[in-house]
């Protein structure tokens, strides 16, 4: 029942996720942060059971940090990080699958001019580079909005506006109550929180 939304724009990526931690008929918390910082310029938004969500996010994050430490500070590109995630999902698929669906957003500036990129992954280890994406039942409501409103050369404000439209649509039409969303941006200034419905620090 999780919702994860991503929109790529000219100078970065907007990632958003609902903050509910629920199972069956119970809601355990409504201030969960499902968007994990992987590197100074990339983040992973994950939907799925809380155990797999936390386990997979931390596993990927720590291994990317280990790679950087082991290779004289060399930072993996967003493309490389996405393929590493896909490889780990594919390996786990044949052992003990992670029940997670992900959107990985990052910012790269290889030749001076930076560009954001967004990658879509599912629990079967399918990987695709996309301009916008959504995971969960929310995709039934949000993909048409993104398809209509996304255009080449969007700026940050326009990308946030698309995400806000998707959230409002879910509030009106989705049968599940998802009262809080957290929205983060990944750009030349790193990974930052733009807004949240409930502070993840309040436990």
Over the range 184-197, which residues count as b (16 or more CB within 10 Å of their CB) and which as e? bbbbeeebeeeebb
Residue that the structure tokens 């999780």 belong to? 2
- Interatomic CA distance for residues 88 and 40, integer angstroms: 21
pLDDT digits (tens, 9 = 90+) for 111-156: 556 789 999 999 999 999 999 999 999 999 999 999 999 999 999 9
pTM of the model: 0.93
Q: Which DSSP helix (H) or strand (E) runs through 168?
A: helix 156-173
Amino acid 58: pLDDT? 96
Amino acid 112: pLDDT? 58
Query: Which residues 6+ apart lie within 8 Å of 158 measured at CB?
Result: 9
- Interatomic CA distance for residues 9 and 20, integer angstroms: 27
* Listed residue (47, 147, 146) closest to 99, CA to CA: 47
Local structure of 24: helix, strand or coil: coil
Is the pLDDT at 203 greater than 70? The verdict is: no
pLDDT digits (tens, 9 = 90+) for 4-43: 999 999 889 999 999 998 888 888 889 999 999 999 999 9
The mean pLDDT of 170-191, rounded to a whole number, is 93
Local structure of 197: helix, strand or coil: coil
Mean pLDDT rounded to a whole number for the chain? 93
Helix/strand/coil (H, E, C) string of 127-146? Answer: EEEECEEEECCCHHHHHHHH
Amino acid 111: pLDDT? 55
Are 130 and 137 in contact by the 8 Å Cβ rule? The answer is no
Is the pLDDT at 90 greater than 60? The verdict is: yes
Amino acid 201: pLDDT? 78
Instruction: Give percent of the chain with pLDDT exceeding 90.
Output: 81
Amino acid 200: pLDDT? 87
- Interatomic CA distance for residues 154 and 90, integer angstroms: 33
Confidence of residue 91 (pLDDT cuts 50, 70, 90): very high
pLDDT digits (tens, 9 = 90+) for 32-67: 999 999 999 999 999 999 999 999 999 999 999 999
Local structure of 160: helix, strand or coil: helix
Local structure of 102: helix, strand or coil: strand
């Amino acid at each position: 029942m999780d919702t994860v939304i991503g929109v790529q724009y000219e100078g970065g990526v907007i990632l958003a996720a609902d903050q509910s931690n629920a199972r069956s008929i119970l809601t355990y918390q409504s201030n969960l942060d499902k968007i994990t910082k992987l590197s100074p310029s990339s983040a992973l938004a994950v939907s799925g059971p809380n155990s797999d969500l936390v386990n997979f996010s931390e596993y990927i994050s720590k291994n990317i940090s280990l790679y950087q430490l082991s290779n004289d500070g060399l930072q993996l590109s967003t493309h490389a990080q996405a393929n590493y995630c896909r490889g780990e999902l594919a390996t786990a698929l044949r052992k003990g699958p992670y029940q997670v669906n992900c959107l990985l957003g990052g910012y790269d500036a290889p030749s001076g001019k930076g560009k954001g990129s967004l990658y879509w992954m599912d629990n079967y280890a399918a990987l695709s580079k996309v301009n916008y994406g959504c995971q969960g039942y929310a995709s039934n409501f949000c993909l048409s909005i993104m398809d209509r409103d996304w255009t080449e050369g969007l700026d940050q404000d326009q990308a946030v506006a698309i995400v806000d439209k998707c959230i409002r649509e879910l509030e009106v039409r989705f049968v599940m109550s998802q009262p809080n969303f957290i929205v983060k941006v990944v750009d030349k200034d790193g990974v930052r929180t733009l807004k949240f419905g409930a502070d993840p620090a309040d436990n």
